[in-house]
A and B are shown apart, each in its own frame.
Chain A
Amino acid sequence: MTKLKLLCGAAMAAALMTSAAFAADMTVGFSQIGSESGWRAAETSVTKQEAEKRGVDLKFADAQQKQENQIKAIRSFIAQGVDAILLAPVVATGWDAVLEEAQDAEIPVVLLDRQIDAPDSLYLTAVTSDQVHEGKVAGDWLVKQVGDKPCNVVELQGTTGSSPAINRKKGFEQAIAGHDNIKITRSQTGDFTRTKGKEVMESFIKAEGGGKGICALYAHNDDMAVGAIQAIKEAGLKPGSDILVVSIDAVPDIFQAMANGEANATVELTPNMAGPAFDALEKYKADGTKPEKWIQTESKLYTQSDDPMKVYDEKKGLGY
């Protein structure tokens, strides 16, 4: 059976020396963290879609937020002799030993959406977003939007001390640096939640003369923006025109708000980390070209002119 498969594979490979043929043959193990958030669920379903599209045989393992489960999954992938392993690491440390085992078995490992503390020779590449860049894209949009007009921005930060909060703040500040008309006048944490986003926005509006002193809201994630939009509406102002709203993540609900004209822009944290990973693997398998050690995913900007209702319908099915 195995011999037959091998023969078939060899024959096909000989007949069609294209990357597509390699992809059709590829068996890939995917060790996912678990289902910690809506985004994570979307990442899993997009990975499965991408694999199906390319004819990759995907073996999926859910680690339920435990590193030992991920290590077990990787070992079983090695034992099964997969062609490559995708790993979304739950923590940054403790991967050296199991990655060496994969290397000894000559199975390339690609990291998804998080980096690890290990020598980069142990994995083929890491596909992640750049959080600083995300903040910068949001800031650039605002700079372009307001032009030379003075604009006081209020900022809803993520959970204090978390890396997305620190990096998304940094990126936004880089983008508005040098534009003296744009100032961040208030900045508070909304803990990445809708409830806190709404509560903090209420206090911002009170503190800034009933919201008249606020020109734009920058939220580190869409959920806080959704909460803040309600606070703006309840204060008798129009979100999207009286106060511009820009946020990050691109979850489905923000597209509904954009379709209603209540949010202006969002920067996507794409759940499609597997697509670039499969591309890199196909190239590597075809002629051994090693990709860069870090593949940055696109931080795409969506605005009201991007047919938000259509994106909403597309995203709604992904399990966000």
Chain B
Amino acid sequence: MSVALKGLRRLAPQLVTLAVVLALIGFAFPGFFQLNWQNGRLYGSLVDVLNRGAPVALLAIGMTLVIATKGIDLSVGAVMAITGAVAASLITSDMPLAVTLALTLLVGLACGLWNGALVAFLDIQPIIATLILMVAGRGIAQLITEGVILTFNDAGLIFFGSGSVLGLPMPVVLWLLFGVLVALLVRRTALGLLIEAIGVNRRASMLSGVRTRFLLLTVYATSGLCAAVAGTVAAADIRGADANNAGLWLELDAILAVVLGGTSLLGGRFSIAGSLIGAMIIQAINTGILLSGFPPEFNLIIKAAIIVVILVVQSPASQSLFVYLRPERRDATPVTRERPAR
């Protein structure tokens, strides 16, 4: 109980932000919170937010771990395109679903291992190491699809995009499952602590016996795996692999989700739940803009304005201002610059 409360308090800024964004949309568009039961699943704008946010949420899970080690993975959007293309081309060449999925995940894993090897063994800076696959990835995907949108009709694969389990769309189930699984794995073991140790000081953690190279390899591989799941979901959603557009710029949305979630880009502290909420904040803004009926020229401006406001409110400077303005603290502690709650 107290653990749960502590977790909630740590996530309070993100939860409040999400609530404010949702309330604003609800104010502008009253039907936003309406939920129906249709075609054997929940149906409504809120479900859309959860569903459409799935690729970014999945990417954010892997990205959180990578950023916790003071790294960054720019290749996830391109890996989505590659894995989507692999899944589509395998299923259209009459491979069984299980083989298709296994090979797709394997390709994602291989992409992640490539990034990890560049960072862990060749000591290339993460932003450069992952830039390589970001640039090359779409070309590789184009080669696999031979330049066309590869469409498929396999019901099994389509299920991962538009199927539903227990009334929730499959993509939502996938990111929730993945999030819980990874969060438990890193927080119920010492793994999370060790990953944070690498982010704080890689050399020091190595000298104190942490297997930094292996762990770095693992986090980048996890990121690749998450991108593979996201790529499969994106391809299954439109029943086709679009090498040009699948996952385009989503690496930036994933990084933004992680930052909104309160994880420091300097490494050393992370929160997977925070990143997932961050992903939902981004998607809520996107869906809200689409519902609002503004002309499309305003889309990016509105999104940018909201994000600037969120980041300013979350910034250390305004956090200490809040602390300063709190009446009970005002007399006792004049100007202690407190670190923001994360």
User: A206, B291: Cβ atoms under 8 Å?
Assistant: yes
User: How many whole Å from A285's CB to the nearest CB in chain B?
Assistant: 35
Given known pairs A38-B148, A195-B237, A253-B151, the reply for A186 and B162 (CB within 8 Å) is: no
B287 within 8 A of A: yes
B297 within 8 A of A: yes
User: How many whole Å from B336's CB to the nearest CB in chain A?
Assistant: 46
Contacts of A139 in B (CB 8 A): none
User: B293, A186: Cβ atoms under 8 Å?
Assistant: yes
Interface string of A172-207 (1 = CB under 8 A from B): 000000000000001111010111001110111011
B92 within 8 A of A: no
How far is A84 from B290 in the complex, measured between Cα atoms in Å?
Answer: 49
Interface residues on A, range: 20 to 34
User: How many whole Å from A192's CB to the nearest CB in chain B?
Assistant: 8
User: How many whole Å from A150's CB to the nearest CB in chain B?
Assistant: 19
User: A230, B238: Cβ atoms under 8 Å?
Assistant: yes
Contact of A207 among B237, B239, B291 (CB under 8 A): B291
Contacts of B39 in A (CB 8 A): 234, 236
Contacts of A227 in B (CB 8 A): 238
B299 within 8 A of A: yes
Q: Which secondary structure characterizes the binding site on chain A?
A: helix
B154 within 8 A of A: no
User: How many whole Å from A320's CB to the nearest CB in chain B?
Assistant: 6
User: How many whole Å from B275's CB to the nearest CB in chain A?
Assistant: 21
Contacts of B244 in A (CB 8 A): 37
Q: Which residue of A lies closest to B300 (CB)?
A: A160
How far is A194 from B238 in the complex, measured between Cα atoms in Å?
Answer: 6
User: A203, B238: Cβ atoms under 8 Å?
Assistant: no
User: A206, B31: Cβ atoms under 8 Å?
Assistant: yes
How far is A229 from B331 in the complex, measured between Cα atoms in Å?
Answer: 63
A223 within 8 A of B: yes
The stretch of B44-52, B130-138, B261-269 that contacts the partner chain: B44-52
B296 within 8 A of A: yes
How far is A292 from B287 in the complex, measured between Cα atoms in Å?
Answer: 48
User: B48, A203: Cβ atoms under 8 Å?
Assistant: yes
Q: Which residues does A use to contact B, with CB under 8 Å?
A: 35, 37-38, 41, 157, 160-161, 186-189, 191, 193-195, 198-200, 202-204, 206-207, 223, 226-227, 230, 234-236, 253, 319-320
Given contacts A38-B148, A207-B29, 12 further A-B contacts (CB under 8 A): A37-B244, A157-B296, A188-B290, A194-B240, A195-B234, A195-B246, A207-B293, A227-B238, A230-B162, A234-B39, A236-B38, A320-B148
